[in-house]
């Protein structure tokens, strides 16, 4: 097909309206999703989305249409938009066309595959529900992720969303021999550049691929970049049999780009101005994220909720695909409790006795109950003071405050800023620590001993070290002045 290109596969531009281009072909029409090239040197890429009649095709431009005019020739490439796959794409940064944008050397030794691929068939899907351990206590204990599942990460600016994503990439690569793919949909150019530098500094870039469609790019590019990222992820899952961690920021911008494309194509909008095909388009992307007999793609997606309205169609359709929701709290971030995960608002479908086991389920419920009781008592403490609580309520507050501090954790990716060595905590150690705190084993230790540690046994050593420092004789004022003068 590619070699037998004829004059019939060359058409002309008949209309340009923003990103929408109408073209006339006198021979056979290009197939839907075909990639067409127009303009000087074929610089304008257009994806065919509708055959309007026997001669005319309407497409959406994936690159800017400046300079495109009626009468210009259009060439049918004979195939759809393709993405590069192979080990050579690791540590590189791409745009939607598979072109490197990191100023690195030319790309060699890659295959090119269509971005339009079918989800794995039902017979190949794994029906086992397995927990995907991240090594982060607050997630593994209270909102465990599903291997091959999809988790939504809800957070505003400055609450530690990128740090949390970076740490998950670090843990995935260092301890699970996996691959991470970061897909930026409608990202600011500054965010993409910062993330690239952070990943390089953290040493996780050699096992990672980054692909961006920035917010100044046409809606067609933002709409297709998620499909290109999934094509790369499917290669590592199906051909290399490796687990893939796919990070998407932001899934709402994918829906938003689809809405723009739909409006430009002249489709009648549905409720609240969204495209009538939103459910189908989102499912076509999300259903490719799956756990199969050869490996798993586990997705963590940042989700923006318009005006905090969880009944918005974009939020409702996204929620139906998620197996876990992690909510980051600005209040917890302001208290220095990092990762700033809100344990009462976050949830996971994996927290059932049949999947995580009876002990884990019971402990998670007890932790939530303790933290919820503490949240209710905060108003009383603020008005009347801790002394006015009953002895039993004081115990609940002490347990809750120790649990909050134990669920903090120093990250590998922030070592250079905090001076604290990163900790990877196994699920067993995390559960043991929570169980012992709930059993009042550490009631005599100061709360600060449990802050920013790994396993709970570190608290005793930390408390001893602090006691020894406090027991050292402090220099008198005269001695301190003598040292300053010297």
Residue 324, classed as helix, strand or coil, is strand
Q: What is the pLDDT of residues 52-95, one digit of tens each?
A: 999 999 999 999 999 999 999 999 999 999 999 999 999 999 99
Residue 1 has what pLDDT?
36
Mean pLDDT score, 229-256: 93
More confident residue, 322 or 467: 322
Residues of the chain above pLDDT 90, percent: 64
How is the beta sheet containing 297-302 ordered, strand by strand?
93-94, 208-214, 179-187, 244-249, 297-302, 150-154, 324-327, 347-348
pLDDT score at 319: 85
Which three-class secondary structure state does DSSP give residue 175? helix
Q: Tell me the average pLDDT across 417-442.
A: 94
pLDDT at 475: 66
Provide the pLDDT for residue 175.
Answer: 59
Q: Given this model, what pLDDT does residue 387 score?
A: 87
Q: What is the mean predicted confidence (pLDDT) over 246-274?
A: 90
**Nearest 10 degrees: Cα torsion 278, 279, 280, 285:** 90
In the prediction, which pLDDT does 309 show? 79
* Higher-pLDDT residue of 476, 319: 319
DSSP per-residue letters across 360-373: HHHHHHHHHHHHHH
Query: What pLDDT is recorded for position 485?
Result: 61
Higher per-residue pLDDT: 483 or 417: 417
Q: How many percent of the chain have pLDDT more than 70? A: 94
Higher pLDDT, 111 or 271: 111
Please tell me the distance from the alpha carbon of residue 21 to that of residue 52, in angstroms, as a whole number.
12
Q: What's the rounded mean pLDDT across residues 220-224?
A: 96
| Mean pLDDT, residues 196-221 taken together | 88
Identify the pLDDT of residue 393.
94
- Tokens representing 182? 């970061």
Q: What is the pLDDT of residue 3?
A: 40
Q: Which of 174-178, 214-218, 396-400, 450-454 has the lowest mean pLDDT?
A: 174-178
Write out the catalytic residue numbers: 161, 187-188
**What is the pLDDT at residue 479?**
62
Per-residue model confidence (pLDDT) at position 442: 93
Q: Please tell me the predicted confidence (pLDDT) of residue 185.
A: 93
Residue 201: pLDDT over 90 = no
pTM summary value: 0.83
The pLDDT tens digits of the residues spanning 120-141 come to 999 998 878 888 889 999 999 9
pLDDT digits (tens, 9 = 90+) for 160-175: 887 888 788 888 776 5
State residue 5's pLDDT score.
42
**Are 103 and 71 contacting, i.e. CB atoms less than 8 angstroms apart?**
no
* Residue 24 or residue 272, greater confidence: 24
Residue 270 pLDDT class (50, 70, 90 cuts): confident
Whether pLDDT at 305 is above 90 = no
With cut-offs at 50, 70 and 90, classify the pLDDT of residue 6: very low
Residue 165 vs residues 1, 339, 342, 377: alpha-carbon distances, Å: 43, 11, 16, 33
More confident residue, 338 or 191: 338
Got the DSSP string for 49-114?
A: EEE-SSSEEEEEESS--TT--TT-EEEEEEEE-EEEESGGGTT-EE-TTS-B-SS-PPP-S-EEEE
Cα separation, 278 vs 252, in Å, equals 11
């Amino acid at each position: 097909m590619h070699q037998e290109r004829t004059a019939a596969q060359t058409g002309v531009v008949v209309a340009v309206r923003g990103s929408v281009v109408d073209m006339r072909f006198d021979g056979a029409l290009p197939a839907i999703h075909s990639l067409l090239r127009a303009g000087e040197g074929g610089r304008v890429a257009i994806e065919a989305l509708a055959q309007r009649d026997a001669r005319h095709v309407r497409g959406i431009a994936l690159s800017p249409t400046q300079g495109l005019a009626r009468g210009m020739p259009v060439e049918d490439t004979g195939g759809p938009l393709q993405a590069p796959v192979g080990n050579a794409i690791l540590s590189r940064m791409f745009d939607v066309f598979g072109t490197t944008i990191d100023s690195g050397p030319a790309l060699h030794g890659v295959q090119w595959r269509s971005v339009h691929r079918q989800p794995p068939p039902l017979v190949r899907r794994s029906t086992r529900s397995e927990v995907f351990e991240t090594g982060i206590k607050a997630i593994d204990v209270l909102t465990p992720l599903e291997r091959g599942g999809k988790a939504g990460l809800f957070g505003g600016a400055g609450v530690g969303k990128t740090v949390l994503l970076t740490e998950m990439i670090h843990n995935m690569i260092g301890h699970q021999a996996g691959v991470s793919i970061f897909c930026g949909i409608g990202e600011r150019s500054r965010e993409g550049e910062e993330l690239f530098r952070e990943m390089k500094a953290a040493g996780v870039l050699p096992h990672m691929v980054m692909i961006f469609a920035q917010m100044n790019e046409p809606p067609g590019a933002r709409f297709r970049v998620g499909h290109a990222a999934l094509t790369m992820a499917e290669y590592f899952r199906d051909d290399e049999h490796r687990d893939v961690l796919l990070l998407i920021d932001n899934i709402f911008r994918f829906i938003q780009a689809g809405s723009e494309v739909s409006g430009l194509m002249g489709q009648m909008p549905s409720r609240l101005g969204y495209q009538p095909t939103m459910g189908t388009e989102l499912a076509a992307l999300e259903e490719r994220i799956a756990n199969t007999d050869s490996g798993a793609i586990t997705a963590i997606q940042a989700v923006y909720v318009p005006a905090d309205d969880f009944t918005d169609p974009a939020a409702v359709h996204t929620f139906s695909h998620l197996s876990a929701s992690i909510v980051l709290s600005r209040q917890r971030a302001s208290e220095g409790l990092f990762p700033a995960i809100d344990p009462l608002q976050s949830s996971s479908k994996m927290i059932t006795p049949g999947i995580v086991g009876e002990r884990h389920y019971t402990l998670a419920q007890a932790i939530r109950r303790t933290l919820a009781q503490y949240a209710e008592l905060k108003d009383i403490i603020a008005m009347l003071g801790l002394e006015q609580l009953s002895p039993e309520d004081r115990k609940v507050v002490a347990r809750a405050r120790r649990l909050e501090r134990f669920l903090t954790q120093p990250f590998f990716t922030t070592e250079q800023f905090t001076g604290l060595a990163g900790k990877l905590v196994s699920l067993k150690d995390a559960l043991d620590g929570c169980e012992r705190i709930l059993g009042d084993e550490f009631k005599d230790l100061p709360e600060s001993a449990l802050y920013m540690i790994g396993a709970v046994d570190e608290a005793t050593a930390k408390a001893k070290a602090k006691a020894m420092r406090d027991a050292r004789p402090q220099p008198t004022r005269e001695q301190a002045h003598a040292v300053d003068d010297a």
